[in-house]
Chain A
């Protein structure tokens, strides 16, 4: 029992980061029907920015906001250069565009920075823990969960209270109708990318703190977590994405500790297979945005 509670708490820490990533994926899917395989590259780019900043002697207090800024700027840049040109294209085109960007970004870093892993120092408190009864809680997880809660509240406020949020929710519900109602599609899509960039930036801070390094292929992992969590949550649904992220985090930790020996290394594969099974057996129930076609 203690172990389970321990697992759940560890899982929630992890899952919070996934939730932020997944929310970014869901926001983009909502406005563009794009499953963004390039989402993780925001963390690759900010990782290198962090590395450069550390090399010039910056501390985490300065690097953290830098990561957010770089992430937002990169998201907007990718939208401007690539995604704005394939708006409304077939899903085939959209998926391959984002897949291509994913590779392009990592290839550019291989070419100009090198394939080697670049390390930087993690903050001193990363491994500190405190205990509540028999349960050891990481300070890091506590910070992550607290920041995630604040971020989500802020996001909810933006979505509920601002015109942009209203437009975004309307666009996610039915883009064409939203446009007819006067929603400026350019602005909504750019705003969605900025929001997903900001969320990825905050997730990226923690991701990079934990990893303590970056590499050209560093984007694969966060991309997968974000996409998987968004898929669990039903893709278009933002609430679902957050829950999906938390579920994915907890599932990973629990599976890793419960699966026997060799199979534990298969955690990701198991999660992926489970998601595939969900899609096979409940394609309608899972994708809340797939409205029936009118004939």
Chain B
């Protein structure tokens, strides 16, 4: 579950304790300095907001899928909790007629929370299936709409189902003295929540979710099924949100439909994005900053511009410091951060990651030189593949066989269907007819991630790295997929692969900071770390200089040999192709027009007519 215990468990535990201490310490310090019940209440609600915001962060931060709906889950949990936790006597005045005997149940707060979590999880599973079906990924409108619908439907039901919820006016209220009396449960939940959020982000599932957040398609091509990771993240986050909502209702002492609607959605989302939605530290920072800013604005607004003993007498600022300022501050924070700092104050900086980097001794560079892995001969066969895009036939009965102990090239003029053939083989384009198989395994129309797990791994013509992850993390992602789904394959260690790709010096840099050549090398290394039977390389030298292309020949050969993979490579660079390939297929207008050794293909008249033109030897 956790790739490296020290990095992924020990440090997050320490980081959790520090974050918890900072937030709670800061809150307690504030209420000690500002005595009075109001400041106590403020600090308590900050702790509960923190739990709620981290709950939302677990989903949005890890998957990158936007959700309006988490506060809607909160509404469901809040009402369920209230229905079960409030004593029958207190319910009798408002919902005496409630169906299913709900007016008479009373379970105590702990059981009520458990029931609330259960009920909310059931709804979350349904929503999760919906999101999965709609193909939710970061940036998809569908996710926004579905989650917004959840928020609205929950709200409407709360307003209209008066017999159970007490509706818009009455709501549900705890009896006097029955509400949350001590902060201890909040502390325990907060601590547990921070820990769960940090551990999830470091876990294998969390890392796979990050990969899909960075690039959905590339994640699929590396054998990750984003839907699974997103659903896991959703369920974990909904559990936290349900507990937070129960605590909130228990602390406030009553629930009305408005308690979990637009205003709370705005508040929690602002908290999330101000600190940085991609990290737990950021979420907590946002909670603290926004709570402080809101309180400051409230006091400045209601007490004129004298608050905390600071007076600005004589300055005509009445037009700013008036009631209603906190809401304006929230709105401004949301718009301002989106315009100037959409990733928040600290982006994906994480306290325990930073601690670890400070305390880490220099990593030992791997000393073992990687040996060539033994190759078994497996055939990759495409038979009679036809692909139609609307009226255009991109592939017209293409046939191809490549064995895993050779390097096969695929050439052809622009539009010949080379990339389409690779897309068909990797499940990204559906063929009209035709078959693709690897060894005995039929891969026709299989989903991309299953094809990758079966051992057919591709790179992309237009670089699709997990750009905000580091070089090492990029390689680690596919290495983790391999360790789980390709146990039989002999994959060297992550560091060995990074080193073999010539990226050792850059291992801790973000993929987005790499230059072009190194990005290409990383694509290759990431694909190789999956221990594939076949590497499908889509124009690995595009945009490279002649010198770099030649170097790439060595690189591709080396990588393929250390993981024992065959290679199918598309390229335009003839020096590269003839330099690296044992055999070449030439495609034209969607069909194979020639195949053979580089010399044979280059000498073929049809090929020269279609592709080489005047470039061939004369």
Q: List chain B residues, Cβ under 8 A from A272.
A: 148-149, 152-153, 156
List 24 A-B pairs, Cβ < 8 Å. Answer: A35-B141, A91-B141, A92-B64, A93-B338, A97-B339, A103-B262, A103-B334, A104-B331, A104-B332, A110-B324, A111-B322, A111-B327, A265-B156, A265-B160, A266-B156, A269-B160, A272-B152, A272-B156, A279-B141, A280-B146, A283-B142, A287-B141, A295-B419, A295-B423
Are B266 and A93 closer than 8 Å at their CB atoms?
Answer: no
Majority DSSP secondary structure for residues of A touching B: helix
State how many angstroms separate the Cβ of A84 from the closest Cβ of chain B: 10
- Say which residue of A91, A107, A265, A266 sits within 8 Å of B330 (CB atoms): A107
B159 and A265: CB pair below 8 A? yes
* CB-CB nearest 9 A-B residue pairs: A104-B331, A100-B334, A269-B156, A111-B324, A276-B149, A107-B327, A100-B335, A265-B160, A103-B331
5 other A-B residue contacts (CB within 8 Å) besides A97-B338, A103-B334, A280-B130: A91-B141, A103-B266, A269-B155, A269-B160, A279-B134
Cβ-neighbour of B66 out of A85, A92, A275, A290 (below 8 A) = A92
A136 within 8 A of B: no
**A283 & B134 in contact (Cβ 8 Å cutoff):** yes
**Nearest neighbor of A110 in chain B, beta-carbon distance:** B324
The reply on B217 being an interface residue by CB < 8 A is yes
Contact B160 A266 (CB under 8 A): yes
The answer to whether B130 touches A108 (Cβ under 8 A) is no
- Is B328 interfacial (CB 8 A cutoff)? yes
> Considering only CB atoms, which chain B residue lies closest to A264 in the complex?
B160
Instruction: Indicate which residue in B146, B323, B342 contacts A111 across the interface (CB closer than 8 Å).
Output: B323
Question: In whole angstroms, how far apart are the Cα atoms of A290 and B140 in the complex?
Answer: 9
The residue in chain B whose Cβ has the minimal distance to the Cβ of A115 is B324
| Cβ-based interface call for A2 (8 A) | no
Q: How far is the CA of A273 from the CA of B139 in the complex (A)?
A: 21
Complex interface: chain A residues within 8 A of B228 (CB): none
Tell me the smallest distance from the CB of B426 to a CB of chain A, in Å: 9
Is residue A220 within 8 Å, beta carbon to beta carbon, of the partner chain? yes
Which chain B residues lie closer than 8 Å to A101 at the CB level?
331, 335
> Which one of A82, A105, A263 contacts B339 once the chains associate, using CB atoms below 8 Å?
A82
The residue that A281 contacts in the complex, of B133, B155, B159, with Cβ under 8 A, is: B133
Whether A107 touches B339, Cβ cut-off 8 Å, given contacts A92-B139, A101-B331, A272-B149, is: no
Query: Is B325 interfacial (CB 8 A cutoff)?
Result: yes
Report the Cα distance A85→B324, complex, angstroms: 26
Contact (Cβ within 8 A) A275 B156: no
Report, as a range, how many residues of chain A touch the other chain. 35 or more
Interface status of A147 (Cβ within 8 A of chain B)? no
B468 at the interface (CB under 8 A from A): no
- Shortest Cβ distance from residue A174 to the other chain B in the assembled complex, whole angstroms: 16
Listed in ascending order, the chain B residues whose CB lies under 8 Å from chain A are: 64, 66, 130-131, 133-135, 138-142, 144-146, 148-150, 152-153, 155-157, 159-162, 217, 262, 266, 269-270, 273, 322-325, 327-328, 330-335, 338-339, 342, 419, 423, 428, 460-462, 464
Query: How far is it, in angstroms, between the C-alpha of A295 and the C-alpha of B538 when the chains are bound?
Result: 10
Nearest neighbor of A101 in chain B, beta-carbon distance: B335
- Interface 0/1 of A82-104, CB less than 8 Å to B: 10011001111101110111011
**What mask results when residues 273 to 291 of chain A are scored 1 for a CB within 8 Å of chain B, else 0?**
1011101110100010010
Residues of A within 8 A of B155 (CB): 269
A268 at the A/B interface (Cβ < 8 Å)? Answer: yes
Which residues in A have their C-beta under 8 angstroms from that of B157?
266, 269
Are A99 and B142 within 8 A (Cβ)? no
B161 touches A268 (CB 8 A): no
Closest to B389 in A: A292
Chain B residues lying within 8 Å of A279, measured Cβ to Cβ, are 134, 141-142, 145-146
> Which A residues are CB-close (under 8 A) to B139?
90-92
Q: Look across to chain B and name the residue whose beta carbon is closest to the beta carbon of A78.
A: B335
A293 touches B (CB below 8 Å): yes
Max chain B C-beta neighbours (<10 A), residue from A91, A97, A107, A262: A107
Q: Is the CB of A99 within 8 A of B419?
A: no
In the complex, the answer to whether A276 meets B339 with C-beta atoms within 8 Å is no
Contact A295 B428 (CB under 8 A): yes
Query: Is the pair A268, B156 in contact by a Cβ cutoff of 8 Å?
Result: yes
Q: Per-residue 0/1 for A105-135: is the Cβ within 8 Å of any B Cβ (1 yes, 0 no)?
A: 1111011100100000000000000000000
| Chain B hits for A103, CB < 8 A | 262, 266, 327, 330-331, 334
Assembled-state Cα–Cα distance A250/B266 (Å): 31
User: In the complex, are the beta carbons of A93 and B342 less than 8 A apart?
Assistant: yes
User: How far, in whole Å, are A266 and B262 apart by their CA atoms in the complex?
Assistant: 18
Q: Does chain B have a CB within 8 A of A231?
A: yes
Q: Could you tell me the distance between the alpha carbons of A121 and B419 in the complex, rounded to whole angstroms?
A: 66
Q: Which of B134, B322, B332 has the most CB of A within 10 A?
A: B134
